[in-house]
Amino acid sequence: VWANCLRVIKANIGEQSFRTWFEPIVPVQLHHNVLIIQVPSQFFYEWLEEHYVDVLKKSIYQELGHEGRLEYSIVVDQGNGQSKPRTVNIPTSRKAAYPAPGNNSATQVAASAQTASARNVAAAASAPANPDTLRNPFEAAKGIDRNYLKSQLNHTYSFENYIEGDCNRLARSAGLAVANKPGTTSFNPLMIYGGVGLGKTHLVQAIGNHVKATTPDKFVLYVSAEKFTNQFIESLRSNAVQDFANFYLLVDTLILDDVQFLSGKDKTQEMFFHIFNHLHQAGRQIVMTSDRPPRDLNGLEDRLLSRFKWGLTADLQSPDFETRMAIIQNKMQQDGIDIPPQVVEYLAHSVNTNVRELEGVLISLVAQSSLNRREIDLEMAKQALRHIIEEVEAEVNLDFIQKTVAEYFSIPVDLLKAKTRKKEVVTARQVAMYFAKEHTSHSLKSIGHNFGGRDHSTVIHSVQTVSDLIDSDKSFRSTIAELRKKFAGK
Ligand code: ADP
Ligand code: MG
């Protein structure tokens, strides 16, 4: 009987869907027009009920007529890693409902199971197609593209080459815990957030690679939220949404990179919400990244955001100097690059934005060195970092103040530090000291020292003189205002 049912079903759905959802089913018993089939999991049962109930009823109706009935036997995961079949009879008319996570699903299902009357099933079998199909995103069938089944992992990302620092300690150790026991820690989902270039993709790829290496039979999938969205849109277009969903429901560890991309994309979010729920319920691991903390993910539905809180959220900060040093050294070793220590130090000092930029500078240095057949040295590094260093120098510092003021008063900058007491020089010197106090964090003593070794009382006197002049002398006041503009916004 079941073989005949399968024939009917096969004619009605896509081949891949058939293989995924019907081949694993084992017919157990046929007794008084009640056919019992065994399905591998609670999730599997829910899925059949939600998406194939019509075709199932149709096939049962054709085989067993009005009196026909279908019941499921679910192989229950005992939670200790071992599966033990337990028969739970569920009428086909029962609406799918998930028990709360952590509960023994078999008990719940058994408790709520009722015996359906044959008439109910027969009536449902002859009913028109499920009017809910539009609301239900998992409808419509076509074959899954097997290419999808690749993990999309980049093998160069590992925990070994992910340098640990204060900036990433929590995220890294949570990632390692998840990688060792996907789906079974309380870090599910694991959400990693942090600014651009701080190592989010590296870390979650490392998780994926670790899981893949330790449990090769499990399906690990890395996908950017952007690709997920594009695939989803494409599946809508080609009427293959169900295959899209089926495919994602096969995943054991799902890594979704840059979830902020889902902002404002309601349909895609809805699909992800369903997938998330099914996977989470089935004890699969979900790992996500975001460029901002979840609370700042505007345009993401609250119900989705609240799911993220089920697990652990960990952030990545900018690496400190020591971590930057270690990252450069690690990268050099990995790529067989040889750079003198003082250059490494210089780079780690100068490039403190993010790791990607640091790597970018390193790569451009290597490129230049091979292009010019010249060893990488400090000079070359300084040249390569010109644009970045110029920005640093453009900050208001003592040199800049002295230079600007000297220029304004048309005197050589050296005279500010010299002994001369010529009036124009004295005024310029006092003005420069005044701005040094205003714009830098130098102490009075340090300012005096930088003006030809004068003592701090001279600096106090200068600042006082300038302040007085600003109050009393209108043209002096406008001089100061003009100069101040040159330092403003720096
Ligand atoms: P994000 O996804 O946060 O924008 P990536 O993961 O792409 O950042 O990281 C940018 C680059 O920096 C990558 O090449 C990555 O390997 C490297 N990187 C980031 N953090 C580390 C780290 N802690 N150790 C080693 N390399 C790192
Ligand atoms: Mg990234």
| Contact present, 477 and 449 (Cβ < 8 Å) | no
Cα pseudo-dihedral 353, 354, 355, 358, rounded to 10 = -30
Ligand 1 midpoint to CA 157 (Å): 9
Domain ranges (residues) in the chain: 2-132, 169-316, 321-393, 398-487
Going from the C-alpha of 400 to that of each of 10, 369, 396, 458, the distances in angstroms are 79, 32, 6, 21
At residue 274, the pLDDT reads 93
Phi-psi region of 375 (alpha: psi -120 to 50; beta: other; left: phi over 0): beta
**Residue 91 reports pLDDT greater than 60:** no
Which atom of ligand 1 is nearest to 203's Cα?
A: 6
CATH 1.10.10.1100 fits domain 321-393: no
Q: Ligand 1, closest atom to CA 161?
A: 25
In this structure, which residue's CA is closest to atom 11 in ligand 1? 356
Percent of the chain topping pLDDT 90: 47
- Residue 142 is assigned to a ligand binding site: no
Q: Which of 164, 166, 202 has the most ligand 1 atoms within 8 A of CB, as the residue to mutate?
A: 202
Placement of tokens 């419509």 in the chain: 140
354 C-alpha vs ligand 1 centroid, how far in Å?
A: 8
14 is in an annotated binding site: no
For 292, counting Cβ atoms within 10 Å of its Cβ (0-12 exposed, 13-18 middle, 19+ buried), the class is: middle
The backbone region for 303, taken as left when phi is positive above 0, alpha when psi lies in -120 to 50, beta otherwise, is alpha
For the CA of 358, the nearest atom of ligand 1: 12
pLDDT tens string 409-457 = 999 999 999 998 998 899 999 999 999 988 877 888 889 999 999 999 9
Classify domain 169-316 at the CATH class level.
alpha beta
Q: Which helix (H) or strand (E) covers residue 127, if one does?
A: none
Mean of the pLDDT values across residues 12-41?
82
Cα separation, 312 vs 189, whole angstroms: 7
CATH 3.40.50.1820 fits 398-487, yes or no: no
Q: At a CB cut-off of 8 Å and minimum separation 6, what does 285 contact?
A: 178, 182, 183, 188, 189, 190, 211, 252, 253, 254
- pLDDT of 202 higher than 50: yes
Whole-number mean pLDDT of the chain? Answer: 81
CB burial class (10 A; 0-12, 13-18, 19+) of residue 113?
A: middle
Compute, in angstroms, the gap from residue 369 CA to the centroid of ligand 1.
24
Pocket lining for ligand 1, CB < 6 angstroms: 161-163, 168, 194, 196-202, 327, 330, 355-356, 359
3-state helix, strand, coil in the chain (%, to 5): 55, 10, 35
197 labeled binding residue: yes
Q: Measured in angstroms, how far is the CA atom of residue 249 from the centroid of ligand 2?
A: 24
Give the tens place of pLDDT for each residue, 242-260: 889 999 999 999 999 999 9
Q: Which ligand is nearest to the Cα of residue 225, counting in written order?
A: 2
For ligand 1, atom 26: residue with the closest CA: 162
pTM listed for this prediction: 0.57
Lookup: tokens for 408:
């304004």
Q: Which two tokens stand for residue 407?
A: 């220029």
Ligand number, closest to the Cα atom of 159: 1
Kindly indicate the confidence band of residue 489, based on its pLDDT and cuts at 50, 70 and 90.
Answer: low
Indicate the pLDDT class of residue 338, thresholds 50, 70 and 90.
confident
Compute the distance from residue 220 Cα to the ligand 2 centre, in Å: 18
Looking from the CA of residue 258, the nearest atom of ligand 1 is 2
Residue 84 parent element (H or E): strand 83-86
**Each residue's pLDDT tens digit, 36-83:** 888 877 667 777 877 788 888 888 888 888 888 888 877 754 444 444
Average pLDDT (92-111) is 32
pLDDT tier, 269 (very low <50, low <70, confident <90, very high otherwise): very high
DSSP string for residues in 438-475: HHS---HHHHHHHTTS--HHHHHHHHHHHHHHHHH-HH
Spacing, Cα 201 to ligand 2 middle (Å) = 4
User: Read out DSSP for 39-60?
Assistant: ES-HHHHHHHHHHSHHHHHHHH
CA of 211 to the centre of ligand 2 (A): 19
Residue-level pLDDT at 43: 67
pLDDT tens profile 284-309: 999 999 999 998 898 999 999 999 98
How remote is the CA of residue 257 from the centroid of ligand 2, in Å? Answer: 7
How far apart, in whole angstroms, are the C-alpha atoms of residue 190 and residue 183?
A: 10
Q: How far is the CA of 203 from the centre of ligand 1 (A)?
A: 8
Which of 33-47, 331-345, 367-381 shows the lowest mean pLDDT across its residues? Answer: 33-47
Q: Are 402 and 432 in contact (CB under 8 A)?
A: yes
- In angstroms, the CA 8 to CA 58 distance is 8
Instruction: Report the residue among 356, 358, 363 best suited for mutation to probe ligand 1: largest number of ligand atoms under 8 A from its CB.
Output: 356
Tokens of 253: 């560890």
- Between 74-83, 128-137, 347-356, the lowest mean confidence (pLDDT) is in 128-137
Report yes or no: 175 and 204 within 8 Å, Cβ to Cβ: yes
Pure H helices in 215-354: 225-237, 241-249, 266-281, 302-308, 321-335, 341-350
Locate the ligand 1 atom nearest the alpha carbon of residue 330 and give its number.
25
Q: In the 3-class helix/strand/coil scheme, how is 55-78 assigned residue by residue?
A: HHHHHHHHHHHHHCEEEEEEEEEC
Scanning the structure block, which residue is given the tokens 């024939």?
7
Probe ligand 1: pick from 222, 325, 355, 359, max atoms within 8 Å of CB? 355
Distance CA(275)–CA(43), nearest Å, equals 12
Any binding-site annotation on 143? no
> Between the ranges 206-210, 364-368, 435-439, where is the mean pLDDT highest?
206-210
Query: Which residues fall within 8 angstroms of residue 387, CB to CB, at 6 or more apart?
Result: none
The pLDDT value recorded for residue 442 is: 80
- Which numbered atom of ligand 1 lies nearest the CA of 316? 3
CA distances from 303 to 166, 266, 280, 282 (A): 32, 12, 14, 19
Ligand 1 atom nearest the C-alpha of 205 is: 6
Of 69, 72, 54, the C-alpha closest to 122 is 69
- Could you tell me which residues are beta bridge partners of residue 83? 77
- Asked if the interface predicted TM-score (ipTM) of this complex is over 0.85, the answer is yes
Residue 208 pLDDT > 90: yes
Q: Whose CA is nearest to atom 21 of ligand 1?
A: 199
**Ligand closest in space to the Cα of 258:** 2
**Nearest ligand atom owner, CA of 196:** 1
CATH number of the 2-132 domain = 3.30.300.180
Shortest-distance ligand to the CA of residue 222: 2
H-state helical runs in 99-199: 105-112, 118-126, 169-180
- Using CB atoms within 10 A of its CB, is residue 413 exposed (0-12), middle (13-18) or buried (19+)? middle
